[in-house]
Structure 1
Amino acid sequence: MPMSHCLDEGSGSVSKRARSETSLVLDFSEDDKKGTIQPHDDALVVTLRIGGYDVRRVMIDEGSAAEVMYPDLYKGLNLRPQDLTAYSSPLVSFEGRSVILMGMIRLLVQTGSDVVEVDFIVVDAFSLYTAILGRPWLHTLGVVSFTLHQKVKYPSGGQVLEILGNQTMARQCLVTAIQHRPKADMSTTTENDL
């Protein structure tokens, strides 16, 4: 059974039924799984154009209320501390730790011919991902993402466009993150899990 959402391009609202003739159906079917390794529990990792550069290892995370940029991308874009604006709200990592915030920067994120301004919170923390795009970007672009199908779909110019995930890249990030994890963290986690 296909998963679908109807999106009225004029209003940006999502509903179960088409509201007008201009509504586009953003659906996912078994055909969308072609080319993916199934079954899996891989993160949705894509390549996007950020700040004028093609950036790999961008994780799409519907659970994130913020867009996050990690040091590799910050340095790769040749950004400097004076390019950042102050950002003081707390941010907590996946492990539940507070993250050191360097500041915030607004950059253009391009998907196809669509360009969206995104406020990235720049953090000083290790990550194999270069950035995380969360709900603000997803909602602005009208994106529907589906990790099972390893795709992002969004309306643009009267049609539905797709961004494909890269499972190989997602798996490489996971393996490297596990190998990078400090031994003290691994022993504590193991003891707590028993």
Structure 2
Amino acid sequence: MSVSRYPAEESSSMPKRAKMGIPLVLGFSDEEKVGTIQPHDDALVVTLKIGEYDVKRVMIDQGSATDIMYLDLYRGLNLKYENLTAYSSPLVSFEGKMVVSKGQIRLPMQTITDVVEVDFIVMDVFSPYTAIMGRPWLHTLGTVSSTLH
């Protein structure tokens, strides 16, 4: 996956971060598409650097109002339960069920150009993904994700 920039206006309602003037676009180059079936409309699943680790199977979901980390990844990053802060709002799972989080944790994430702090809601439910990056992360980066691009 490559990250590129394209000209666009910055919104004054975006979270505070270093102004780069041009938002990021999450996308794939033609070389990265080799071996895939096109047109491609599958979920956007990538590898991202969370803390000091390259984390695979992270889904980018513009429909998610939160950034989610699943308990298996939390344990895999050697994080302790006492590092969690309370998060009491229930969430709705993919199956439409209400689920309660284990808590919340703020962790650094490395992009090509920046390190940003992300508030992850930690969930103890099954998922084929290790984490889901939603609108809060995308908006902080000023990023637009697209399976088309």
TM range, smaller chain: 0.7 to 0.9
Q: How many angstroms does 1:13 deviate by?
A: 2.4
| In structure 2, C-alpha distance between the alignment counterparts of 1:138 and 1:40, rounded to whole Å | 21
User: Taking every aligned residue pair, what percent have the same amino acid on both sides?
Assistant: 67
Q: How many angstroms does 1:142 deviate by?
A: 0.8
- Higher relative helix content: 1
Residue ranges of structure 2 left out of the alignment (5+ in a row):
1-5, 13-19
Q: How many angstroms does 1:94 deviate by?
A: 1.1
Q: Secondary structure, in 3 states, of the residue corresponding to 1:101? A: coil
Aligned to 1:137: 137
Q: Is 2:69–2:132's contact at 8 Å kept on the other side of the alignment?
A: yes
Count of aligned residue pairs for this structure pair: 135
User: TM-score when scaled to structure 1?
Assistant: 0.62
Aligned to 1:82: 82
Q: How many angstroms does 1:112 deviate by?
A: 1.4
Q: Secondary structure, in 3 states, of the residue corresponding to 1:137? A: helix
| In structure 1, C-alpha distance between the alignment counterparts of 2:117 and 2:72, rounded to whole Å | 20
Matches within 5 A, 1:143-182: 143-149=143-149
Q: How many angstroms does 1:81 deviate by?
A: 1.1
**Pair 23,81 (structure 1): closer, same or farther in 2 beyond 3 Å:** closer
Q: How many angstroms does 1:82 deviate by?
A: 0.2
Higher relative contact order (CA 8 A, sep 6+): 2
**Pair 54,89 (structure 1): closer, same or farther in 2 beyond 3 Å:** same
Q: How many angstroms does 1:25 deviate by?
A: 8.0
Q: Quick check: which has more Rg, 1 or 2?
A: 1
| In structure 1, C-alpha distance between the alignment counterparts of 2:24 and 2:101, rounded to whole Å | 36
**Pair 95,25 (structure 1): closer, same or farther in 2 beyond 3 Å:** closer
Q: Is 2:48–2:110's contact at 8 Å kept on the other side of the alignment?
A: yes
